[in-house]
Amino acid sequence: MKVYLVGVGLGNPATMTLAAREAIAASPLLIGAPRLLEDYVGKTCLPLIAAADIAAAIDEAREGPAAVLLSGDVGFYSGAKNLYPLLEGHQVVTIPGVSSLVYFCARLHTPWQDAFLVSAHGRSHNAPGAVQSHEKTFLLTGGTYRAGDLCTQLTEWGLGHVTVHVGERLSYPDEAITTGTAAELAGKEFDSLAVVLAENPAPVRRSLSAPGLPDDAFLRDKVPMTKEEVRCLSLSKLRLEPCHTLWDVGAGTGSVSCEGALAVPEGRVFAIEQKAEAVALLEKNKAAMGLTNLHIVPGTAPEALRDLPAPDRVFLGGSSGNMEEILRCALEKNPAVRVVVNAVTLETTAEILRCFAALDLTDTDMVQVAATRTRKAGRYHLMDAQNPVWIVSGEARHG
């Protein structure tokens, strides 16, 4: 049987293509969501949504062709994807439609070829992370996650300044388009099937393919800093993924925090530091690199960790004698957390091993790094040995 998969646009018949109209007119059997079938009196209409139900109805149909009406465009978060493998025994003709993305960007007078596309409608998603890491993000919202919820989340992530356009009831007479900052629109009520275009003028992006910013990229003063060579290996041992949440406990100048933030453009880094002088430097280094996903938490661990979101990774550069309590706090929030701890003394190294054993951290790996740099002395180059550093990593397997 001939089966048309018809993208009918946004719902208003005015957005339907001529090809779509002709396919519907030629089909005695129409199948689709109830709201898409309302205007077709005199046709046999089956209000079905699940792909398996639609395919079964087509297999049982005695007369064709059949037209499956799909909202928007058949290639943009459409049910057509699940139908294709179920209709292999039929002659399938696909007719594209006008998507909400195309229509909304046309109404906003903005191109969409540079937009990052996200569906937050009935799917797991990292919407704030997408907005944080892209200049232009288009999002479908709906169900339990609406445009106002997105704006609230963006504000909580420190992205309240981002410009957000919300489109409701697009193409209908009561169409509404609202523009404001995420902070201004946070918590407002919007239609359940609204779409959003978020514009972030300063997305978090990593210009280098691997860690290794030079030490002079950071303001330091007299605050301790994890040096470039040790930092590279420590970040490698963390095994960061783009959407991870990282705790940097005892952040100092924030060299690990800043490089970590660049490595997780869709995630967040929380830099915990108790010294006021270091916190001030952290703020300056964050601002210099434009790291909106770096959140500075003044205070002493583990007390300062209690209200933080669960970490995927923890870097411990200083614990002030509270190593086990800090690690316990991380494990309580995420029983599968991965941990990297640096030490410059034998006593601290022994404490790391004791804590890892007490907390049943597995896959323990220990590396000692002893980097030597050159420095000029007149026309000569001398070797300047850096303090040896132990890098100890491990992770929990209780999750």
92 and 110 within one domain? no
- Indicate whether 297 belongs to any domain: yes
Q: From CA 369, how far away is CA 390, in angstroms rounded? A: 6
- Indicate whether 123 belongs to any domain: yes
Residue 392 — left, alpha, or beta (φ > 0 → left; ψ -120 to 50 → alpha)? beta
- Given 165, 199, 233, the domain boundary residue is 199
Length of the chain, in residues: 399
Q: What is the mean pLDDT of the chain?
A: 91
157 and 68 within one domain? no
237 and 126 within one domain? no
Is the distance from CB of 260 to CB of 204 less than 8 angstroms?
no
| Residue 335 pLDDT class (50, 70, 90 cuts) | very high
CATH of the domain at 128: 3.30.950.10
Per DSSP, helices labelled H in the chain are: 18-25, 34-37, 51-60, 80-83, 100-107, 127-133, 147-156, 182-185, 228-238, 255-263, 276-289, 323-333, 346-358
- Given 154, 172, 199, the domain boundary residue is 199
130 and 163 within one domain? yes
341 and 244 within one domain? yes
Please give the full DSSP string across 291-356, using - where no structure is assigned.
Answer: -TTEEEEES-TTGGGTTSPPPSEEEES--TT-HHHHHHHHHHH-TT-EEEEEESSHHHHHHHHHHH
pLDDT at residue 42, as a whole number: 81
Judged by DSSP in three states, 5 sits in: strand
Tokens at 153, concatenated: 């989340």
Residue range 346-361, pLDDT digits in tens = 999 999 999 999 999 9
Please give the tally of structural domains in the chain.
3
| Residue 205 pLDDT class (50, 70, 90 cuts) | confident
260 and 164 within one domain? no
Q: In the chain, pLDDT over 70 holds for what percent of residues?
A: 97
154 and 267 within one domain? no
- Indicate whether 209 belongs to any domain: no
- Indicate whether 89 belongs to any domain: yes
Q: Which of 189-203, 207-221, 303-317, 384-398 has the lowest mean pLDDT?
A: 207-221
Helix axes 255-263, 228-238, angle to 10 degrees: 40
pLDDT at residue 370, as a whole number: 87
DSSP 3-state percent helix, strand, coil across the chain (nearest 5): 30, 25, 40
Q: In the chain, pLDDT over 90 holds for what percent of residues?
A: 74
Distances (CA, A) of 389 to 88, 225, 230, 235, 348: 61, 12, 7, 14, 11
Helix axes 323-333, 346-358, angle to 10 degrees: 40
- Given 31, 65, 98, the domain boundary residue is 98
Q: From CA 139, how far away is CA 384, in angstroms rounded? A: 53
pLDDT at residue 215, as a whole number: 75
- Indicate whether 268 belongs to any domain: yes
246 and 295 within one domain? yes
CATH of the domain at 327: 3.40.50.150
| Residue 175 pLDDT class (50, 70, 90 cuts) | very high
pLDDT at residue 124, as a whole number: 63
| Residue 387 pLDDT class (50, 70, 90 cuts) | confident
- Indicate whether 290 belongs to any domain: yes
State the DSSP code for 182: H
Number of Cβ atoms within 10 Å of the Cβ of 153: 17
124 and 67 within one domain? no
CATH of the domain at 24: 3.40.1010.10
Q: From CA 116, how far away is CA 204, in angstroms rounded? A: 14
254 and 188 within one domain? no
Contacts of 313 (CB under 8 A, 6+ apart): 238, 239, 240, 244, 245, 246, 247, 337, 338, 339, 340
Is the distance from CB of 101 to CB of 108 less than 8 angstroms?
no
- Indicate whether 207 belongs to any domain: no
The parent domain of residue 116 ranges over 101-199
Mean pLDDT to the nearest integer, 129-158 = 93
- Indicate whether 205 belongs to any domain: no
What pTM did the predictor assign?
A: 0.82
361 and 291 within one domain? yes
385 and 237 within one domain? yes
